[in-house]
Structure formats: C-alpha cells, structure tokens
Chain A
Amino acid sequence: MKRTDFDVIIVGAGPAGLAAGYVLAKEGISVAIIERGIFPGSKNVMGGIFYRSSLDDLIPDFYKEAPIERHIVEQKFWFLSEDSMFSTGLRSERFNIEPYNCFSIFRAKFDKWFAKKVADASAMIINETVVKDLILEGEKVSGVRTDRPNGDLYSDVVIVADGVNSFLAKSLGLGKEIRTNDVAIAVKEVIELPDKVINDRFGVSNSSEGVTIEITGPYFNNMRAMGFIYTNRNSLSIGIGAVIEDLVRLKINPNDLLEILKKHPAIKPLVSGGEAKEYMAHMIPEGGYYAMPRLYSDGVMVVGDAAMLVNSIHREGANLAIESGKLAAKTYIEARKKGDFSKKTLSSYQKRLEESFVLKDLKTYKNLPKLLEEKRYLISKYPKFIIDSMYEIYNVDKVPKSEKIRLIMNRAKKEIGYFNILKDIFNIWRSFR
C-alpha cells in the first residue's frame, strides 16, 4: 500500500501556508505544516500592513484577538525630491470604524498567533525543519525530504508555500530563476518612540489609530524604489525596497538607501529621537503576472510569494497569499472527493485564482513592471515637474500668475516635451488595457 503520513503537507508557515492549513484542518483533513524557523513568524518579514478581508473569511473578527499594532485611518503617498515633498493621500473616518480596512502588524508576533489558531484546528506544525527536496513518484509529487534524520514524509498533495526564494517551485521546473528586474530587496528598521509622540507627529487622536506613508520620487536617483513609514503602537516601521537591477546598476547597498531616506528633511523629524530596535531584510516579488511560475502540477500547488502573488503597486501581498492558500485548500478538498490529485484535477486551483481578485488584480497591472523597467523616468521626471510647478505657484515673488503658468508650460515643453507627455499617457493607458 502506498505510504502517506499526512493527507497534505504544506511547506512554510507564512500567511499562505497557514491559511491553507487552517481550511484543511477545519475540514478534518490531516495536515502538516513544515517551518524552518524556531516558531512560525521568526523568519517572516513584511513592511507591516495587513488587510483584513481575506483572513476575516476564515477567522471572523480576528483583529479583536490578534496581535495588531494600529488600525490605519490615513494613507499618504509622498513624492520626494532633493529638498521638497509633495503629498497626496486620504484620511477618512470610514477607515476609523470597525471592522477596519487594514492594520499595522509585526509578522513575528502575528504569524505566531495565526499558527496557534491553525494548530488549535488540529494541524500539525513541525518547526525547525527545512524541506530540502520534493519526493517524486514518476511525475507526481508524493512527499517531502526534510533535513531531519529519516525525515521523508509522504502525502497526497504538497502545497508549496516556501516564500519568495522558493527553491521547491524551481526544483520542479515550475518557476524560472528570478531576474534582477523582477524582484526588489527591501530593508526595514523598527524605531521605538513613545506612543504619544507618534500620535502627535502623525496627527492621530489615540494610540489605536495609525498612518501609512508610501514614498517615491526623484530623490531616489531614478531608481524603482519605494520607501514607507508605518505607525505601530510604540514604534515606527521605516523601510525601503528597490528593484535589485537598479541597486546593482548604481552600486548602492539597500541599507545606504534607507539611511538616505531617513536623512530627507521631510522624514528626519518623524523618526528623530527614536531608538532602533530591529533591522531586517526581505525580497519582494515585483514582476507581477508575467513573472509567475506555473502554479500546479501532479500532486502539488504553489501559493503566496512562492507563486509571486504580490501586487506591489498596492503593497498587497499577505492578503493575496491568504486567498491563494484558501483556494489551494479548496482545490484539494474537491480533488479528494474524486480521489484524483493529478495535474488535470488540480488545474482548478488556477481557475479559482483567475476568478478571484488575486489574478484579476495581477492582470490589471500585468504590463506595469515592464513599462517601469523601460521608462524609469515616469516615477522621477513627472514628480519632479509637479514639485517644481507647485513651488512656482506657492512662491509669491511679484511675478504675475500668467507669467508663472507660461514658465511652467515652457518647462513642461523643455524637460519632458509635449509629444512625449502624450506618448506617456497613451502608453500608461495602453498598459491597463
């Protein structure tokens, strides 16, 4: 008889793997989640914003018990130039009423909590164990080889949730080696400050309300770089990610880029006087739809970052991971009824993803990574033009407004060119079709 230790083995206890494990365990399916850290979360990093809706389906009102920092009431987007900052964003009381849109969190704490819920649902979590390889029987994945003595484990299906580096998806030939243009490296610092100081600096009325700032612009030397500041209860998460290709081109270390961000006159007063508590690094898959690996094969499905399911434009990742984990679990449940775990049956995982917001969103932005790869100036030249134009308008110096507008139009013509502006508008419009 064929040996199976578990119905399903999940590799990696991040949001994708844990969500899959939760759905399966609730159905009474025997499931093991294999995690290389000493506890789930101990290796896990993100900027820090977690959207409610995907997890709320699994654990209604989870935020009332989960370790969250603040719910977000204001989201800003800042464009920085050498000496200026142009801000846009939205603060709304609609974000200040339950059940809230999103939260700042720490993954080491949050994932640990989530894993406890999954274990309580009777999934087995095996910590401190690295999966070295998938075990194949013919074409079909039938288990995993771990770094434990006699560490082979067998199952009907393996769900690959081993994160952005996903050695397993590559070993199966589902994914290609990652291109330096398809992935960003992000570094982050947690900076401790008294909660009252944070409330004052970010203009919120109490320590449960939070603010996010996303930061880009010409200050970052024409790089595809995105900085961020998120408010936690007693600390700030400040970080920056840049596409690896751009860092290599300019020979910049990610930590130096973070220090450059912290020195900007609009950023410095926000973090001053704080004490650094932790420093971390993590890659972010940014290649989008076209950089995705194949998502399934005989006896295997790929979820979360391992499947490159990240919407970097909207800094969404964990929610896509959770959704993909859920859909993989549902696919398994359906396949189990048929007693068939072949590629053909598991292909409905792909279909479910296509029908969900996950692949719909990735498709909407599918051309954007390439557009920005070819036209990096879109995120530097235009913000610079806006900043310089607004300076012109705000600066009262006896020059008549009609003359100022003429100067601005002249600069648009000289620095970018009318025809180029039309071309760029057309290209952006076309990329969304």
Chain B
Amino acid sequence: MRIEDKLYLVGYNVDEDESHIGVSDPEECKKCQGRPCTYICPAGVYSYDDKEEKLSINYDACLECGTCRIVCSFITWKYPRGGFGVQYKFG
C-alpha cells in the first residue's frame, strides 16, 4: 500500500489556521544535497518543487513523529496546537 492510501485510515483534526511545520531558511532547501525530508517522512509530508525551487509541506498529513527535525536542522517542526493534529483510534 502506498502512503497516500494509508493516510486515509488515519484520523486528523486539521488546524486550518496554522501550520506547525516550517523551514527557517528556504534558501537552504535549494542548496540541500539529498533532501532527506522528501524520502524519510513516514507520511510523505515533504516534496520539492524543482520548477518553483521550493519545498512544499503538506502539514495536515503529519503523523507527528518528529523524524524530519532529526534529519534536518532547518525544519522548524513543533507540536500542533492543543487538540489539533493526528488522532489515533488504536495507536
């Protein structure tokens, strides 16, 4: 199963007003060699748009594991606001 299909199984309370993920210096993404965020994230939150030269962040799919901030010091990942984000049925 692809990640996209698995994410349909996950419950979220999406914070429409505020993203909990950002990049402190977008210029770094342009220079970044491997862009580990684009393949390491278990929810596939990150993709790089070569034309726009910009990292696109689909924060509403985030499973809140925090792996992205371990592999990249420019990603400013924090917890979503209280009550928002992923909500597991089983966990």
Q: Chain A: residues with CB nearer than 8 A to chain B?
A: 36-38, 41-46, 106-109, 111, 127-130, 146-148, 164-165, 167, 177-178, 180, 183, 185, 187, 189-190, 235, 244, 247-248, 251-255, 259, 276-283
Contacts and interface: CB of A to CB of B under 8 A. Distances in A.
Contacts of B73: 177
B40 A247 contact: yes
Question: Which of B71, B82, B90 has most A Cβ within 10 Å?
Answer: B90
Given A43-B87, A107-B88, A283-B67, 13 more contacts: A36-B82, A38-B83, A108-B88, A128-B83, A130-B81, A178-B70, A190-B90, A244-B67, A244-B70, A254-B42, A276-B9, A279-B6, A280-B90
B66 A164 contact: yes
B12 to A, nearest CB: 11
A359 B67 CA distance: 26
B2 to A, nearest CB: 8
B29 interface: no
Interface string B36-50: 100111111000000
Contacts of A278: 9-10, 88-91
Nearest to A107: B91
6 tightest A-B CB contacts, nearest first:
A128-B83, A108-B91, A281-B42, A279-B6, A107-B91, A128-B82
B82 A106 contact: no
Interface in B42-90: 42-44, 63-67, 69-71, 73, 78-83, 85-90
B42 to A, nearest CB: 4
A279 B40 contact: no
B3 interface: yes
Nearest to B41: A253
A183 to B, nearest CB: 6
Contact of B79 (A106, A130, A252): A130
A46 to B, nearest CB: 8
Interface of B: 1-3, 6-7, 9-10, 13, 34, 36, 39-44, 63-67, 69-71, 73, 78-83, 85-91
Contact of A244 (B40, B64, B79, B80): B40
Given A253-B42, A281-B65, A41 B71 contact: no
Contacts of B41: 253
Contacts of A282: 65
5 contacts: A247-B40, A248-B34, A278-B10, A279-B10, A281-B67
Nearest to A42: B87
Contacts of A277: 9, 89-90
A235 to B, nearest CB: 8
B40 A42 contact: no
B86 A147 contact: no
Give chain B's interface secondary structure class.
Answer: loop
Contacts of A128: 82-83
Given A106-B91, A281-B65, A253 B10 contact: no
B36 A248 contact: yes
Contacts of B81: 130, 147
A247 B69 CA distance: 15
Given A42-B91, A278-B10, A283-B65, A187 B42 contact: yes
Contacts of A185: 40, 42, 65, 67
Contact of A255 (B42, B70, B71, B78): B42
Contacts of B85: 43
Given A127-B83, A178-B70, A276 B42 contact: no
A167 B69 CA distance: 11
Contacts of A108: 88-91
B63 to A, nearest CB: 4
Nearest to A259: B1
A112 to B, nearest CB: 9
Contacts of B66: 164-165, 283
Contacts of A111: 91
A236 B3 CA distance: 19
Question: Which of A37, A107, A259 has most B Cβ within 10 Å?
Answer: A37
Contact of B88 (A36, A43, A248, A283): A43
B71 A248 contact: yes
A109 B89 CA distance: 8
A44 B42 contact: no
A129 B69 CA distance: 22
A259 B39 CA distance: 15
